[in-house]
Structure 1
Amino acid sequence: MKQVIVILSLFLYGSINAQTQNEIEIKNTIETFFEGFHKQDSLIMKPLMHKSLILQTVGKDRGGVVELSTTKGSDFLKSIVSIPKESTFQEKILSYNIQIDGNMANVWTNYEFWFNSKFSHCGVNSFQLIKQNNTWQIFYLVDTRRRENCKQ
């Protein structure tokens, strides 16, 4: 009986440890993505982005109508590097909720966005990641943007 308990304990520890390692790798992928984002450095961001990356935003237009906008990953990179260098921006990630199933992960992050040191908006990001060749890459990112009901 003791042998069964030891074997089960080792198996359970191995499963928990593997999950934790994946969570660390996924969080590092997202943190490095934002490091490149804030530095406007496409060379940092591009290896973390799957070649088929699609970005979408759920928000409201000036009339209050909910809309969905879509951007290809390559266009997103161009827009980031073209932001004037005298402008500052920061997306502050407030929390992470990571879910993993094999080589796919979903990460839900609450955030605040600041532009030129002034609060702009808040919302959530939903990242979809794939693990290929032992590397996690973002293949889909959708976010919400709102100015109300934000904790500052």
Structure 2
Amino acid sequence: MIMFRKIILSAILAFVYVMPAFSQSEEKAVEEVIRSLFEGMKSKNAEQVAAAFYTEGLMQTVQAKPEGSTVGSNSVADFVKRIATTPAETTLDERILDYQVKVDGTLASAWTPYRFYVNGNFSHCGVNSFQLVKMAEGWKIVYIIDTRRKEPCEE
């Protein structure tokens, strides 16, 4: 009976220690997809940008207006095309300030405050809200919605 309790206790302890590590590695994998997206954007690598997304992904922006917010939509294909056709002399740099990632099995959500720069000059700030799904080929962004403003901005 004592041996049985030791085995059960050992199994419980192993589970308690292994699950957070699994969760943290999945959270890091989600962060890497988002990092790759913005690295691809900065280097104008359209293939790298496209690889971060599910093919039917959706992109939206909250457009804050005094009379009330509206939501603008864009396809991933249009976004990838804009990145591919960005002039060589233009630098796009979205700097992520923090990653707040939650994972439940094959679904992940990431909240990422950011500051955006064009040619080294501050353009705007806001927050990205990503929804990702773990597919056969890995984590893919299926949805992103963001806010954009000039101030107040996190540092």
TM-score, length basis structure 1: 0.92
Which structure 1 residue ranges, 4+ long, deviate > 6 Å from structure 2?
Answer: none
Unaligned regions of 5+ residues in structure 2, if any? none
User: How many Å apart are 1:4 and its aligned residue?
Assistant: 2.8
Task: Name the SS of the counterpart of 2:129 in structure 1.
Answer: strand
Which of 122, 125, 129 is matched with 2:128 structurally?
A: 125
Give secondary structure in 1 for the equivalent of 2:31.
Answer: helix
Match of 1:17 among 11, 17, 21: 21
Counterpart contact for 1:129–1:136, Cα < 8 Å: yes
2:39 is matched with 35
| Equivalent in 117, 131, 146 of residue 143 of structure 1 | 146
Name the residue aligned to 2:98.
Answer: 95
- Cα deviation code 1:94-145 (max 9, x no counterpart): 0010011111100000000011211111000001000011500001010000
**Which residue of the partner structure matches residue 3 of structure 1?**
7
Distance in 1, Cα, partners of 2:9 & 2:101:
29
Give the equivalent residue in structure 2 for 1:114: 117
Alpha-carbon separation, structure 1, partners of 2:47 and 2:119: 24
Tell whether the 8 Å contact from 1:26 to 1:136 is kept in structure 2 after alignment: yes
What SS does the corresponding residue of 1:4 show, helix, strand or coil? helix
Q: Which residue of 2 aligns with 1:85?
A: 88
What is the rounded CA distance, in whole Å, between the counterparts of 1:40 and 1:88 in structure 2? 8
Instruction: Name the CA distance, whole Å, in 2 between partners of 1:151 and 1:10.
Output: 40
Structure 2 residue identity aligned to 1:19: S
Which structure dedicates a bigger proportion of its chain to strand?
A: 1
Letter in 2 for 1:23: E
User: Could you tell me the percent identity over the aligned residues?
Assistant: 34
Aligned residues of 2:97 and 2:115 also touching (Cα < 8 A) = yes
Gap regions ≥5 residues in structure 1: none
With normalisation by structure 2, the TM-score equals: 0.90
Amino acid at match of 2:78: D
SS of 1:58 mapped into structure 2: strand
